[in-house]
Chains A and B, each alone.
Chain A
């Protein structure tokens, strides 16, 4: 028993040490114990345990240092091998770590709110539309009745033109929020206070504002005395009551309100026309009450809204309420893309691992003699294994460090060029979890590299290797393993290639979709008019002031050299925004006006169809006749004309926008359909109204300036003329129209190019792996090939033999990869446009690419084999 206990204690020491001194130590300890009394033996045990616990780590460290030195020397002796392995690892680990950092920042890290899991968005689901915003009165009624929500808050868009303080005018995005908004999200201002209920009511009390930390620093020099001070924003003066904490990045503001940096109280008057139930522009958020889920809340709120629909039948369209967790709402749309990319990067990492394992295997078989000598000299298998593991781990850790550096560079690129649709892209960084991921990847790879060659370090092979008799067995054995690795790599590369092929083809198809307008050679910029000149007085005066400003600006812009056409529109097609109005046809009343179809409403100046090259199909488009006070006109798109006026001429018919009692507008023209919500979204119905004839002043418009040369060349001149007209008005989003459209397809292009990159890398690695493995086989079979040639085999036969040997694992891998891709293609369905996940052309093209690549990889070793000199090979 004491002997067994002592031997167990000796397990603390390295195996090598145990092998050398274990038995002797046991004998010594026994002799010591025998000479002691009972108490003395107890003391001896305690002292020996302490002694071994102290000396064992030093022994392990000693061996580790020796192994590391040996590994470093070995790596330096084979610089090409080492560099290849390191570059491969850098690629695999770098891509994996960069992808993980994106996933971590975008999907895994918690939303910037307290108990974010309980936060939901509440949307009205109408029969004819997707879930969307609510009318203010619906929100007010639901808030009063909801038991499944502990708190609800409404949000609408706003903005502030900060000017007149001696600094450059600046348009700042803002949100109007219920007083309950900040308590609901659980974030309080760092300076000052939040909004009170009294401020969330109509009247002067609601002229208060909370600033973001960034705005406070940028515009107000981080002055703490800002609290309680009035600031002018357009024609309104707000008293600052709070400044949000520095790290607070409101996702609602960032994703839905153009990165709003100011918050005002909502303070809606329920009697105001814009508070109506059909004025669906209020976004509603809530916190689930304890024990409630999104589903139970949706059921409860749907019951309430059904009661409201009964009470106000003409203001609802078979409504129900959709409740979604905020994390699902924001992150749900990007989850499939990121998961597909993670899967892709995991495959790439596996291919990289497979390749390095193959390289290590090659090194092990080349080192067979050295290893056999060491084994014959009594170095145990465990000791050899430990040495190999140290070498592999050193290589992997160096690869991991390089990978981390590569990932850091990738992260910078992703942050700079990543699609704007990816939320929280700005948070993507190499942080401790990411570094841990790199370390885990590296250690995982290292263990794999060590395990594969270790299999070939059986002691019984030592004698065979030493005498050379085992060469054939060894070759056949390692070739099987190497072929397996090569086949696996080809399989994974095939899966990636098919996936990337599908995404690339889908993106090409999407980019080829006719948007219905031309966006080349166009400069766009956004102007938001603020100040007493445009925002005070009766509505007619405001409309006149605003539309006249734009009309003058456009007139001057058209006179600029290089400008072919210029106009202004409230929403740039494909530029985001969604302004839907019920489309009512005069003389065709509906029992429930809410059943009327929805149309996108564009408010534009004359010349918009020319500037955007939207084809005019019948009738006319706006011109100077359609001024304020002139008969109201509208232009509709082809889809609306065909569906709503089948078999008749829509020209001359009258339509009302929003509600049946709205002013009637005569249709004067039909234009082509324009894709607005995305190239992959159907155009739907569209109505264009002259700016001067809209029901209220639209202060925020985008200028559209078509130029003969580079659009950005004209930006300075256009900005200058706007400044001449009114220097107090901020101009934002100055860009080429193609970059606006680029944003709408950015996620797909991002996914396609990343997966494409992974696929090309994986294919390159797989092919290089195949080439390397086959090259080694040819070298090892040189003698046999020489004998075959000497016995009369033709060079062609030898070539075929080698080709067959190389192509067999490649073909097996290809078949496996295609089968996997076929089975898994379904997951890409939501990311594809215009092609099926099992698109035969993509599969065929991928097969062809892999076959050609594999063939090329085999041809060189095959040619080398055919050129073997029989005499020299036999002599060797």
Chain B
């Protein structure tokens, strides 16, 4: 069956942020939470319950995978797992970004019209 990224849309803000957080490389759960908070200046905060229900669903949908490579054992916590974005996940994230961008463009055009 052909993969259709748009069938996953729209994503919730938390889902989108998780995909974006993983876009620049694999991360464990805490790192994802930190990255989201950092990138949004703390405006979006994902908590453990939400994060891992998203992780579970993305894993089963094949949007992310668990990474086999682990850091230096001295720095590693064996309870942690590392997640990596798949091509499908990247495609979904891009599709969602395009959708948001389109929405923004339309909204701005309409608001500008009104103001004029």
Interface positions of A (Cβ within 8 A of B): 13, 17, 20-21, 23-29, 31-32, 35, 44, 47-48, 51-52, 54-56, 58-59
Contact = CB atoms under 8 A, between A and B. Distances in A.
A54 B48 CA distance: 12
A44 B55 CA distance: 20
Interface in B36-54: 45, 47-53
Interface stretch (B1-9, B76-84, B94-102): B76-84
Contact of B48 (A48, A58, A59): A48
A455 to B, nearest CB: 31
Nearest to A9: B49
Interface string B8-34: 000000000000000000001110011
A48 B48 CA distance: 7
Contacts of B81: 24
Contacts of B45: 47
A25 B29 contact: yes
Nearest to A47: B47
Contacts of B52: 17, 21, 24-25
Given A27-B77, A48-B48, A59 B53 contact: yes
A51 B51 CA distance: 10
A24 B47 contact: no
Given A24-B29, A28-B29, A51 B56 contact: no
Given A27-B30, A31-B30, A55 B79 contact: no
A21 to B, nearest CB: 4
Interface residues of chain A: helix, strand, loop or mixed (majority): helix
Contacts of A31: 30
A26 B79 contact: yes
Interface in B67-116: 77, 79-81
Interface of B: 28-30, 33-34, 45, 47-53, 55-56, 77, 79-81
Contacts of B34: 35
B49 A52 contact: yes
A229 B79 CA distance: 91
B49 A27 contact: no
Contacts of A26: 79
A51 B30 contact: no
Contacts of B53: 17, 55, 58-59
Contacts of A25: 29, 48-49, 52
Contacts of B48: 25, 28-29, 32, 48, 51-52
B56 A28 contact: no
A48 B47 contact: yes
A47 to B, nearest CB: 6
A559 B52 CA distance: 96
A31 B56 CA distance: 20
A787 to B, nearest CB: 48
Nearest to A56: B49
Contact of A17 (B33, B56, B80): B56
Nearest to A16: B56
A752 to B, nearest CB: 60
Given A21-B55, A26-B79, A51 B29 contact: no
What are the nearest 5 A-B pairs in CB distance?
Answer: A51-B47, A55-B49, A27-B79, A52-B49, A51-B49
Given A27-B79, A28-B28, A48-B48, 14 more contacts: A21-B56, A24-B79, A24-B81, A28-B30, A29-B48, A32-B30, A32-B33, A47-B45, A48-B47, A48-B49, A51-B50, A54-B49, A55-B49, A59-B53
